[in-house]
Amino acid sequence: MAILFSIAIMASFLYFFHRRRSCKHPVLRDYPILGMLPPLLFNLWRIHDFSTELLKKHGASGDFLGPWFTKMNYFITCDYLNVQHILCKSFDNYIKGPEFREIFEPFGDGVVTADSETWKYFRTILHSLIKQRRFEAFVDKTVQKKVLTSLLPILDHVQKQGKVVDLQDVFNRFTFDNMCSTIVGHDPNCLSIDFPEVAIERAFNESEESIFYRHTVPRTVWKFQKWLQIGQEKKMTEACRTFDEYIYSCIASRREELRKFSKEEMEEAPFDLLTALITHERGCVHDDKFLRDGAFNFFVAGRETMTSALTWFSWLITKHPLVEAKILEEIQEKFKADQVVLGMEDVKKLVYLHGALCEALRLFPPVPIERKQAIKADTLPSGHRVQANTMILFSLYAMGRCEEIWGKDYLEFKPERWISERGEIIYAPAYKFIAFNAGPRICLGKDLAFLQMKMVAAAILRKYRFQVVEGHVTAPGHSIILLMKNGLKATIIKRQT
């Protein structure tokens, strides 16, 4: 027994020594057995600021080692030259990988998780659909209708009642209804005066929290929980079942409806994404799984960007009244006397509002962390060597707080940094302003997302201003999307006309 104990001690010592030698750029102290996990868990409540502090302390890049004999070993960085190298210059060497698809299980084989030819095929189809004028016109009409018939009436109702409202919940419901209409042609009316609980909307939220959880514990832990169907993994399974039932029922009913349309009638049919995917088949029939994965990926990409951006934007506006005044002045110049909601063509002229939204996305990117896996060994611009199969995490949140990219005033909410002397938008390279990804995987719906956010923000700010409840704590929640943990509780004040 003593011999076995001695062997175990010696093996542990040798393994610990091996880890120390192989980890040349540690960002945290490497504890025996537990690795660098303890300080990470201790700071989980402020994980994004904690990661930013670590990266600044260690020259923007370093190694994180999880518990022994687990796969929680990462190279982490916020160096924009490394990001440019990974996402743009050496794109083919850095993939999502099978582990990514396993963690992001609800996404299936959609454009977010797919690699190689599957990704190229999906992206080509989506690109051809999104760029069609007919699709943009459909989205424009859908957003205007939702703002007029739901968003503004509900804000007016809350204002008259003098109630406190969670603006993040309002935006979440608005974008969920909007994306359902845009993707599957069905409005579930989450945004109603009684604020109903909608199972499909809750399922999306729970699946995202479960994906975040899978990032914070060893794979063996969440795999074991999944096998036992307990804890967060049970929630994941139930959430997947709920939204799969919803999406597959939408697919079935849409296929049935489209069979009744003649070719001429199809030109006049609503151009939601699901209809577009089905009618785009051109001899190559996509199965329901393909359509399900496409719809789910578009749901998350479109919905979360708007909810997160509008929530943090609204909070920042309440903290910066001078910025709010400039936005309001610009909006009032563009609105006609009888116009309640600006259309997409109108909001393209709102340059200062665009800059303010860029600032919100810079400081609070909807997806705060991106993940890649190296196929072959490579040397990064920072000089760090990554081996084949190395997992790489880059912090978009930290990049938005990088002095080298944004200057000494990087913590200021300053829309002017996005506006040229001629009064035009300054477009920063995507690998620096990375809220919409960069390189070949840059978000296809970026321009459409900006137009929708400007339509919503302009319509609201013209009529109302917000006052955050005194003592309300705003902090990022535990999800793969940068939402506020406690929501954004505020009262609504009607502007004097």
CATH of the domain at 98: 1.10.630.10
**104-130 pLDDT, tens per residue?**
888 888 778 888 777 888 788 778 877
Residue 444 forms part of a structural domain = yes
d(CA 23, CA 110): 34
Residue 443 forms part of a structural domain = yes
d(CA 106, CA 101): 9
Residue 212 forms part of a structural domain = yes
d(CA 81, CA 77): 10
State percent of the chain over pLDDT 70. Answer: 91
Number of structural domains the chain divides into: 1
Residues 6+ apart with CB under 8 A from 191: 146, 150, 151, 154, 170, 173, 174, 176, 177
Residue that the structure tokens 């796969």 belong to = 71
> Who has greater pLDDT, 187 or 4?
187
Strand pairing report for 73-77 and 391-395: parallel
Q: For 379-385, what is the mean pLDDT? A: 93
d(CA 182, CA 272): 5
**Rounded to two decimals, what is the model's pTM?**
0.88
User: What single-letter DSSP state applies at residue 419?
Assistant: B
Handedness of CA 248, 250, 253, 254 (dihedral sign): negative
Domain around 222: 70-494
Length of the chain equals: 497
Q: For 346-356, what is the mean pLDDT? A: 94
**282-324 pLDDT, tens per residue?**
555 678 888 888 888 888 777 778 899 999 999 999 999 999 9
Residue 297 forms part of a structural domain = yes
Assess contact for 272 and 139: CB atoms under 8 A. no
**11-42 pLDDT, tens per residue?**
444 444 444 555 667 766 777 878 878 888 88
Annotated binding residue 78: no
Which of 412, 417, 373 is closest to 98 using CA atoms? 373
Residue 487 forms part of a structural domain = yes
Residue 33 forms part of a structural domain = no
Adjacent-strand bridge partners of 371: 393
Residue 29 forms part of a structural domain = no
Residue 240 forms part of a structural domain = yes
d(CA 297, CA 107): 6
Q: For 356-381, what is the mean pLDDT? A: 94
